[in-house]
């Protein structure tokens, strides 16, 4: 398998994290393209949005969207609950991650850490305000449960960990959330865990 990625991306890290948990071999291919046109040359037939992560299977089929890739790799493993309702709850948190969490936490991190152009303080404050709402929702859940969606580590934990663990780089104060901090440590202790920078 080939994983097209940007190594600093939390979305790409999610996929690498699951591949590591599963002990699967793959080749990493860093996306160096800058413009949309250049990305089209690399990913045009592979990813509808021309974004990474994009996984190309050994038979040539390609899959984009981090959470779709997690689902493909994770189905039938212990990272997907057997119970139908729990599976739907896992999906609930994965949709939450893409709609309520990543657009704020990942974007604030990108602006502050990687974009390299001046940040509009009002736009940043708006992203952070919404990002804090997502962190608060996670904290409320984690006050009652060890993982997402309940007591066992699942794909939803991987999805949420991708950017939550790096949220400080987006200017977020994680010390406000003791249950979330404990969860970050639990995730780090899962067998096969690798850091983003690995």
Ligand X SMILES: N[C@@H](CCC(=O)N[C@@H](CS)C(=O)NCC(=O)O)C(=O)O
Query: What is d(CA 28, CA 16) in angstroms, rounded to the nearest whole number?
Result: 9
Choose the binding region for ligand X from 64-72, 76-84, 116-124, 128-136 (rule: CB under 6 A).
64-72
For ligand X, which residue has the nearest CB?
A: 51
Q: Pick the closer one to ligand X by CB: 51 or 165.
A: 51
Query: What is d(CA 7, CA 30) in angstroms, rounded to the nearest whole number?
Result: 7
Q: In what order do the strands lie in the sheet with 62-64?
A: 27-30, 2-5, 54-56, 62-64
156 touches ligand X (CB under 6 A): no
Residue among 97, 72, 114, 81 at smallest CA distance from 165: 97
| Among residues 19, 46, 65, 183, the one that binds ligand X under rule CB under 6 A | 65
The alpha-carbon radius of gyration of the chain (Å, integer) is 17
CB of 66 to ligand X, least distance (A): 4
Q: Determine whether 13 is exposed, middle or buried from the number of CB atoms within 10 Å of its CB (0-12, 13-18, 19+).
A: buried
Per rule CB under 6 A, count of chain residues that contact ligand X:
11
Q: Are 46 and 64 in contact (CB under 8 A)?
A: yes
9 touches ligand X (CB under 6 A): yes
The DSSP 8-state label assigned to residue 166 in this structure reads: T
CB of 83 to ligand X, least distance (A): 25
6 touches ligand X (CB under 6 A): yes
* H/E segment holding residue 62: strand 62-64
Token digits for 138? Answer: 């996670």
11 touches ligand X (CB under 6 A): yes
164 touches ligand X (CB under 6 A): no
Q: Pick the closer one to ligand X by CB: 19 or 52.
A: 52
Pick out residues in 38-57 that bind ligand X (CB under 6 A). 39, 51-53
| Among residues 19, 21, 66, 166, the one that binds ligand X under rule CB under 6 A | 66
Choose the binding region for ligand X from 59-67, 86-94, 165-173, 185-193 (rule: CB under 6 A).
59-67
Instruction: List contacts with ligand X (CB under 6 A).
Output: 6, 9, 11, 39, 51-53, 65-67, 98
């Amino acid at each position: 398998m080939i994983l097209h990625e940007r190594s600093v991306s939390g979305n790409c890290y999610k996929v690498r994290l699951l591949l590591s948990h599963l002990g699967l071999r793959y080749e990493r291919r860093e996306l160096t393209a800058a413009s949309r046109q250049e990305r089209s040359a690399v990913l045009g037939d592979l990813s509808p949005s021309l974004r990474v992560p994009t996984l190309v299977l050994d038979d040539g089929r390609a899959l984009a969207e981090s959470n779709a890739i997690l689902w493909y790799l994770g189905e039938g493993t212990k990272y997907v609950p057997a119970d139908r309702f729990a599976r739907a709850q896992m999906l609930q948190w994965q949709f939450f991650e893409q709609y309520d969490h990543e657009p704020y936490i990942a974007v604030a991190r990108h602006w502050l850490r990687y974009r390299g152009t001046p940040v509009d303080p009002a736009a940043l404050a708006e992203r952070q305000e919404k990002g804090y709402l997502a962190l608060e929702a996670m904290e409320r859940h984690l006050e009652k449960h060890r993982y997402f969606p309940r007591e066992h580590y699942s794909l939803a934990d991987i999805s949420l960990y991708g950017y939550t663990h790096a949220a400080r780089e987006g200017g977020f104060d994680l010390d406000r959330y003791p249950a979330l901090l404990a969860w970050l440590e639990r995730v780090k202790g899962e067998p096969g865990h690798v850091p983003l920078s690995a």
